[in-house]
Structure 1
Amino acid sequence: MHRYRFLLSRQWVILTLVAIALIPTMVKLGFWQQHRYEQRTARNDLVSAALHAKPVPVERLTAPGHAVTRTEKYRTVTATGAFDTAQQVVVRRRTNADGEVGFHVLTPFVLDDGKVLLVNRGWVPANGAQTAFPEVPAPPSGRTTVTGRLMADETTAASGIKNVTGLPDRQIMLIDSAREARRLGARVLGGYIQQTAPEPPGGSPEQISDPGSEDAPLNYAYMIQWWLFAAGVPVGWWFLVRREIREQEEAAAAERRSEPSEPGEPATV
C-alpha cells in the first residue's frame, strides 16, 4: 500500500475532500433542476389547458373578493356590459412585445348586473416621461361583449414591482381588484381580464400576447448534466490517482536505471 502513501499528503487530502464535497452538491443541484423541470412542465400544461378551454361567462369563475386560482388563471371568459372610461387608469412601466416601455390601459367594465370587471385593454406608448396621462383610444361605446384571459390580482411578491405611492393622477403600479373596489365604490370581481376581443380598431391599445411556455426541457438537460458531473468526479479523481502512481513508478524506474548495478561500475546511461 506504500504506492498510495501520497494520498496522505496535504495536497491530496484537500483534493479528495473537495471531490467528496462536490458529489452530494452536484446530486442536490440535479434534483433541484428536476424539481424546476416538473414545476415548469406542470405550469405549461396548466396554461395550455386554460388557453384551449371553452370560453365561459366571467362570473362563473370569479366574484367580488375572489382570489383567482392557478387553475382559473388564463381561462378565456366573456362578459357583457359597458366600459366606464371616466374611471379609467393606466398601469405604469409595462412593456410591449418589442420591449418598449409604456402603460397598460385598465378600464372598468360595468356588467349588466351592476358588478364591475377590470379589463386590461392592452399597451399604449408613454410618449416620453411617464408623468402625464397618455393618449388612450376609446373602447366601444354602449353595451358590448368582451372576451379575455382571466388573471389573478398582481402583488409585489409575485411581480417584483413595488407598489409606490405619490404617482401622477390616474396612474397605478399594480392591478389590485380590492383596491380598485375601494376607489370605485363598487362590487369589483376578483382579478381582471386581458382583453382579446373585440380587437381595437387601428391596433391600439396593443393587445397583450398569449403567455409563452417556460423552457422546461432546458431544466431537464441541466438535471442530467449535474448528475453526469457527479458521476464524473470519482472517475476523474481515480484518473488523477492512477496518473500520480504511473509518474512515481516511471520516476523510480528512471532512478534505478541511473544507479550503478555493481559497486565501482559506471552508472547505466
Structure 2
Amino acid sequence: MYRFLLTRQWVILTLVALLLIPVMVELGFWQLHRHENRVAHNRLIERNLEARPAPVTELTSPGHVVPKDDYWRSVTATGSFDTRNEVVIRQRTAPDGDRIGYFVLTPLLLGDGRAVLVNRGWIETGTDLTAFPEIPAPPAGEVTVTGRLMGDETTEASGIKDKRGLPDRQFMLINSVQQAERLDREVLGGYIELVEPAAASPRPLDEPDHDGIGVNMAYAVQWWIFAAGVPVGWVILLRRELADRRRAETAGDEEHDAPVPVPS
C-alpha cells in the first residue's frame, strides 16, 4: 500500500521536508539569539545611563579604544571649549529623524593639556554646503560637561565612507585619532555626547532607545511553527494520497465486477 513512497515524486518531497525542518529550527534559534542580544543591549544601555557619572579620564585615554561595555556610560569632564578648532560631521540625521545636517564636534581642553571631543548636537546644513556653518557658541571659560561616552567611529563599524577633500573643518567620522593629528595634541579615545549643559542649538542628541525589543522573538516562534507544520503537512499529503488510491482501487474493482451486457 505504501510502495508509492518510493516513487521519485515522494522521495523528493520527503527529502525536501527533512531538509526544511532543521533549517527552520535553526532560523528560529537565529532569531532567538538576535532577541537575546537586543535584550542584553538594552540592559547595557540602561545600566550605563543610570550609572553614577565618572570622570572621563578614568574610562579612556589617548589612543584608547572604548570597549562596547562602556558605550553610553555617564561621564564628566572639566575644561574649556576650543571653538577655534571646532568641526562639523557631515550627513547626520536630526534627532527627529526627518532631516540631514551636521553634528557639531568641539574639543574640550582639559587642565592637563589633553583634549576630549564633545559632540554638542545637531544643526541644519544651510544653503551652502561648502561654507562652514554658523554655530551657536558654547559656554565660555571653564565648564564641567556631563554626557555619554562613545567609541570612535570607523568606516568598518559604521559603514560611513571617510571621504577626503571635504571643505575646511568638515569631516565624515567622529574619530579621536584623526582629530589628534589635526590638533597636534593628545586627545582621549572616543568622544562625549553632550547632555549638560544643554542648549536649544545645537540640538542635543536623544538617549538611545533601550525599551523596544523588536519582533525577533515573534519571528523565532513563527519559524518553529513552520518547522512543526512540515511533518503535519507531509502526513496530510500522505493521507490524501492513500485516500485517492483507495478510491481509484474501489472504482477499478467496481468496473471489473460490473456485469457484461449480453448481446440481444
TM range (shorter): over 0.9
2:241 equivalent in structure 1: 244
Kindly report which structure 2 residues correspond to 1:131-210, keeping only aligned pairs within 5 A, or say none: 131-200=130-199, 203-210=200-207
2:100 equivalent in structure 1: 101
What are the Cα deviations for residues 1-52 of structure 1, in whole angstroms up to 9, with x where unaligned?
xx22222233222222211111111111112112212211111111110011
SS at match of 1:251: helix
Distance 1:149 1:221, change over 3 A: same
1:53 aligns with 2:48: no
For residue 218 of structure 2, the aligned residue among 221, 228, 231 is: 221
For residue 76 of structure 1, the aligned residue among 74, 77, 80 is: 74
- Matched length: 262
2:208 equivalent in structure 1: 211
Residues 26 and 227 in structure 1, CA contact (< 8 A), matched pair in contact too: yes
- The separation in 2 between residues aligned to 1:245 and 1:215, in whole angstroms, is 49
Kindly report which structure 2 residues correspond to 1:112-127, keeping only aligned pairs within 5 A, or say none: 112-127=111-126
Distance 1:128 1:7, change over 3 A: farther
Residues 115 and 188 in structure 1, CA contact (< 8 A), matched pair in contact too: yes
- The separation in 1 between residues aligned to 2:202 and 2:156, in whole angstroms, is 27
- The separation in 1 between residues aligned to 2:211 and 2:13, in whole angstroms, is 39
Deviation of 1:142 after TM superposition, in Å, equals 1.0
SS at match of 2:192: strand
What are the Cα deviations for residues 221-254 of structure 1, in whole angstroms up to 9, with x where unaligned?
2112212211211111111111111111122223
2:72 maps to a residue whose letter is Y
1:198 maps to a residue whose letter is P
SS at match of 1:71: helix
1:230 equivalent in structure 2: 227
- The separation in 2 between residues aligned to 1:152 and 1:229, in whole angstroms, is 41
1:36 equivalent in structure 2: 34
Unaligned 5+ segments in structure 1 are: none
- The separation in 2 between residues aligned to 1:29 and 1:38, in whole angstroms, is 14
- The separation in 1 between residues aligned to 2:162 and 2:22, in whole angstroms, is 41
Deviation of 1:92 after TM superposition, in Å, equals 0.6
TM-score by length of 2: 0.93
SS at match of 1:124: strand
Deviation of 1:216 after TM superposition, in Å, equals 3.4
- The separation in 2 between residues aligned to 1:154 and 1:80, in whole angstroms, is 23
1:241 maps to a residue whose letter is L
- The separation in 1 between residues aligned to 2:57 and 2:98, in whole angstroms, is 33
Deviation of 1:261 after TM superposition, in Å, equals 3.8
Task: Provide the alpha-carbon RMSD of the alignment.
Answer: 1.8
- The separation in 1 between residues aligned to 2:183 and 2:111, in whole angstroms, is 17
Deviation of 1:100 after TM superposition, in Å, equals 0.5
1:5 maps to a residue whose letter is R
- The separation in 1 between residues aligned to 2:211 and 2:170, in whole angstroms, is 31
